[in-house]
Amino acid sequence: MQLDKLRLDLRPRSNAQGLDLGFALLHAGGADVWLAWLALWIPLSVVAVLISWHWPGAIYGWLLPWWLRPLLERAPLHVLARQVFGEQTSWRAALRAWPHELGGGWFRMLTWWRPFMAGRGLHQPVWVLEQARGKSATARRATIARNGTGGAALMFGGTCSTFEMVLMFGMLALVSLFLPAATPNPFALFDMQDHAALQAALATGAWCLAAAVIGPIYTACTFTLYLNRRATLEAWDLEIVLRQLRAPAARPTARHAAALLMAAPLLAMAMLGMPPPVQAAEPVPATAAGAAPQHCAPPKDLMAEGNGRGPDLSPEQAQVRRQLDQVYAHTDLRGYRCEEEWELRVPPEEEKKKDKSKPLLPRWLAAILAGVFKVGVIIGAIALVVWLLWRYAAPLRFNFSSSHVPKLATEVGGLDIREESLPEDVASAVRALWQQGQQRAALALLYRATLSRLVSRQSLTLHQGDTEGECLAHARNAHAAGKLDNASLALADQATTLWLNAAYGARWPASDTVSALCGSWQAHFDREAA
């Protein structure tokens, strides 16, 4: 790792600043990052939309790209990791290298980590860039995630998921506003029960589009959070400064070399004429009684921080790290003070009791039981989440399946619209009731007969519990979609208006109006029956 080529101004920052640094990195060279991400994400999104189109009731459509997403994030990480050190790489090179970077952590990413580990982007560089495996990778991930870094990555992942849902529902609401409806309704898309395939495809496509926008941002920000953590652990800022200071001193000029060659004979002659020096014993520094020792073992927490340093990648880096250790060993910088204290010795009897006390279980058996318990807790948590979703999510989830179409209406506003409940000659029956002075019954018969004809002969879909206004809105939507002709819509509009004015406003139409409407009704629907 060549820190002198680092393009970022890395210094110890807060976690929020480390995440914000990812936006600057993505803005500086984000074209190849976006292309590397989209080259893998778009084909998978197309497959997901096609699955949702052909199987609207299945969840496999959006589940496929969501589940494989951690593996796809390693392609933009390849580009970011090289751009941060000044190496220009293309998105095509990232795609060629992507299959070789899938090893390490893939099983964990696709199993128990996938539903719960929103901060996975912090740990991806441990497998991809450091090539750590097994226990080494586990210890390294634990070190990187300390001091709130893991929690910051987890919170940022949850925030990105929230933004994806906001973008998804925003796009679906925008599409809904352009659908034909009586009034603009941002949720009109979810009322299209006759187009379950289109519903599912649009929902999956909207989520894939939102994830395409957020994906590179998540990868870049969690990567800079990882770099910020390493810079804090390994003092990259001091190492860079020391390298810059050492570089000029390591290159003596020709003038200095010539001066040394000319002065060498003079120094040799002067040394020959000098008497041999008298060597005295080195004085032993007096140490006051009770003085604090200068060297002692560091505290355990500082030793843990020191163990987080990665392996030496070059002799120069090892030398710089030794110099840093010498600097930090000074009493003013090391962060702790050595003091001697008197402690009571443990009585021999208690020491023997401690030696005799043995663990209840062998260490290997305890490790096995701990692993089994951990797996059991994870499985139990997953089962609990699945049960809660199955038990309580039914009223909240949107109906994308055609097998859950609401029950068709047999009555509207208390009026029976079944065809068998109507007289054979509807128009004559309406006129007879009107002449007998039963105006309400006449208009009710005309209204329910109109709805019955639209449902039975023109396949208008009405649902149980629809009001008169909702039935008219369904008729207008069907007319806009080309499923209902102009004459049928006009009759439905007139019959609904007369019925609503009479039933709720006590405003009765003229006899000529009712007679004319009966004539139009009979001519239209009798012609359809013929």
In a 3-state reduction of DSSP, which class is residue 416?
strand
* Residue where one domain finishes, among candidates 241, 273, 298: 241
| 476 vs 265, more confident | 476
Q: For the chain, how many structural domains are there in total?
A: 2
Q: Please compute the mean of the pLDDT values over residues 27-47 and round it to a whole number.
A: 89
Rounded Cα distance between 26 and 31, Å, is: 8
Range in 52-56, 243-247, 323-327, 480-484 with the lowest mean pLDDT: 243-247
pLDDT higher than 70, residue 251? no
C-alpha distance from residue 419 to each of 273, 408, 432, 454, 466 (Å)? 133, 14, 20, 10, 18
Q: Where are the alpha helices (DSSP H) in 253-362?
A: 254-272, 300-307, 315-328, 348-356
Range in 70-74, 109-113, 232-236, 251-255 with the lowest mean pLDDT: 251-255
pLDDT higher than 60, residue 290? no
| 263 vs 438, more confident | 438
The whole-number pLDDT of residue 167 equals 92
Which amino acid appears at position 187 of this protein? F
Percent above pLDDT 90 for the chain:
9
Q: Residue 30 domain-assigned?
A: yes
The whole-number pLDDT of residue 400 equals 41
Q: Residue 347 domain-assigned?
A: no
- Write out the two tokens for 478: 């069907």
Find out whether 378 and 115 touch, Cβ atoms under 8 Å: no
- Write out the two tokens for 116: 């719960």
DSSP annotation of 432 reads H
Rounded Cα distance between 391 and 126, Å, is: 39
Give bridge partners of residue 411 from the DSSP assignment. 416
Q: Residue 298 domain-assigned?
A: no
Rounded Cα distance between 401 and 477, Å, is: 21
The whole-number pLDDT of residue 250 equals 47
Percent above pLDDT 70 for the chain:
73
Q: Residue 204 domain-assigned?
A: yes
Q: Residue 267 domain-assigned?
A: no
C-alpha distance from residue 15 to each of 6, 121, 135, 144, 298 (Å)? 20, 14, 26, 12, 26
Rounded Cα distance between 305 and 410, Å, is: 73
Residue 86: φ, ψ to 5°: 80, 5
Return the number of other C-beta atoms located less than 10 Å from residue 467's C-beta.
10
- Helix 486-505 to helix 439-458 angle, to the nearest 10 degrees? 150
pLDDT higher than 80, residue 375? yes
Q: Assign 216 a pLDDT band (cuts: 50, 70, 90).
A: very high
pLDDT higher than 80, residue 23? yes
Rounded Cα distance between 448 and 455, Å, is: 11
Number of helices and strands in the chain (H, E): 20, 2
pLDDT higher than 70, residue 487? yes
pLDDT tens-digit readout, 41-92: 999 999 999 988 888 766 677 888 889 999 999 999 888 888 887 778 888 9
The whole-number pLDDT of residue 353 equals 56
Residue 255: φ, ψ to 5°: -65, -40
The whole-number pLDDT of residue 507 equals 86
Dihedral angle over CA of 510, 513, 514, 519, nearest 10: 160
| 154 vs 368, more confident | 154
pLDDT higher than 70, residue 279? no
Rounded Cα distance between 332 and 327, Å, is: 10
Query: Chain-wide mean pLDDT for the chain?
Result: 77
Rounded Cα distance between 314 and 520, Å, is: 94
Q: Residue 444 domain-assigned?
A: yes
| 401 vs 495, more confident | 495
Residue 429: φ, ψ to 5°: -65, -40
Q: Please compute the mean of the pLDDT values over residues 434-446 and round it to a whole number.
A: 87
Find out whether 90 and 76 touch, Cβ atoms under 8 Å: no
Q: Please compute the mean of the pLDDT values over residues 190-209 and round it to a whole number.
A: 81
What's the pTM value of the predicted model, to 2 decimals?
0.51
Q: Assign 212 a pLDDT band (cuts: 50, 70, 90).
A: very high
pLDDT higher than 60, residue 264? no
| 256 vs 133, more confident | 133
* Residue where one domain finishes, among candidates 241, 268, 297: 241
Q: Residue 120 domain-assigned?
A: yes
pLDDT tens-digit readout, 309-360: 667 777 877 887 788 777 777 776 666 777 777 777 666 565 555 555 566 7
Return the number of other C-beta atoms located less than 10 Å from residue 330's C-beta.
8
Domain with residue 520: its CATH number is 1.20.120.330
* Residue where one domain finishes, among candidates 180, 211, 241: 241
Q: Residue 146 domain-assigned?
A: yes
Q: Please compute the mean of the pLDDT values over residues 127-140 and round it to a whole number.
A: 85
The whole-number pLDDT of residue 448 equals 85
Q: Assign 388 a pLDDT band (cuts: 50, 70, 90).
A: confident
Range in 12-16, 133-137, 416-420 with the lowest mean pLDDT: 416-420
Which amino acid appears at position 171 of this protein? M
Find out whether 527 and 491 touch, Cβ atoms under 8 Å: no
pLDDT tens-digit readout, 396-428: 444 444 444 445 667 776 777 787 788 888 888
| 407 vs 175, more confident | 175
Residues present in the chain in total: 530
Find out whether 62 and 408 touch, Cβ atoms under 8 Å: no
Strand-pair category, 415-416 with 411-412: antiparallel
Q: Please compute the mean of the pLDDT values over residues 283-304 and round it to a whole number.
A: 57
- Write out the two tokens for 365: 């058996």
Rounded Cα distance between 417 and 444, Å, is: 10
- Closest by CA position to 473, among listed 404, 412, 427: 412
Range in 26-30, 76-80, 96-100, 332-336 with the lowest mean pLDDT: 332-336
Q: Assign 193 a pLDDT band (cuts: 50, 70, 90).
A: low
C-alpha distance from residue 404 to each of 67, 196, 401, 506 (Å)? 26, 10, 6, 39
Rounded Cα distance between 5 and 25, Å, is: 15
- Closest by CA position to 246, among listed 530, 7, 4, 46: 4
> 229 is in which domain, residue-wise?
3-241
